[in-house]
Structures are given as C-alpha cells and as structure tokens.
Amino acid sequence: MSAAIQSDIRARLRLSVPNQFSSHAYDTGSSRVVVLDGDVDFEAVERFSRAIDTAAERAPALVVLDSSELTFIDSRGLGAVVDARNRLRERSADLVIRGASVMLTRLLGITGLTALLEEE
C-alpha cells in the first residue's frame, strides 16, 4: 500500500472523532509559517481566521500555511484562506499551503484553488 493511501486512510479514521483545532507560528526570515493542527470546522473557523490574520500582519512577503497536521477543513475555512490571500495580495504579499494531504489537494482542485499549493 502506498504512503499516500496510508496517509489518506489515517486521515479518514481521524475524521470520525473531531480534533480540536490549534495552531502556532514561527518566522523563517521573509515568511511566517502557521502550523495548523486538527479540524477547521464551523466551531474553529474564527480561531483559524485569527491565526492567519495575525500571521499576515507580521509577514513581510509570504504566509505559509503548514497543513501537514490538518485533519479537516470546511467551506468556511477555505473562504478564510481565500480572504487572507486576497488581503495579502493587496500588500504585494502572498499565501501558500504546504504539506497538503491527498484530501486537501483534491478539495483545492475541485474549488480551483490549486495555485495556493506550495511548489516543491
């Protein structure tokens, strides 16, 4: 079984039990990385938006959302990402998503947001 399939199965199993959303951020010079963990659902979207907004205020050029530990994101969460990216672009800055799961990559593809994925 491939690593991607195993990761997808683990993610699906975690979805059966809601995971509390948390985040932390750190600087890498010209970017601010926000590490996302857990579920971004209707209960967590405000905390998620604040985490992105706080990073955007401190990031000179780029906000990186590290989604490698993100287990779920709903449409409101995706909306918060798009809103933050638009605000950053107004300041000539940008936002990318790093470490997207198979499920998140698929969701970004369906919604036309694959340009947000960090190029490797």
- For 79-113, the pLDDT digits (tens) are 999 998 998 899 888 999 999 999 899 999 999 99
Cβ atoms of residues 26 and 33 within 8 Å:
yes
| pLDDT of amino acid 29 | 85
Rg of the chain on CA atoms, in Å:
14
What distance in Å separates the CA atoms of residue 59 and residue 49, rounded to the nearest whole number? 15
**What global pTM score does this model have?**
0.81
Strands lying side by side in the sheet with 94-98: 22-27, 31-40, 62-73, 94-98
pLDDT tens for residues 69-79? 999 999 999 99
SS3 27: strand
Delineate the domains of the chain, giving CATH numbers in brackets.
3-116 (3.30.750.24)
Residues of the chain with pLDDT > 70: what percent?
A: 87
Number of other residues whose CB lies within 10 A of the CB of residue 28: 10
pLDDT tens for residues 38-62? 999 888 999 999 999 888 887 678 9
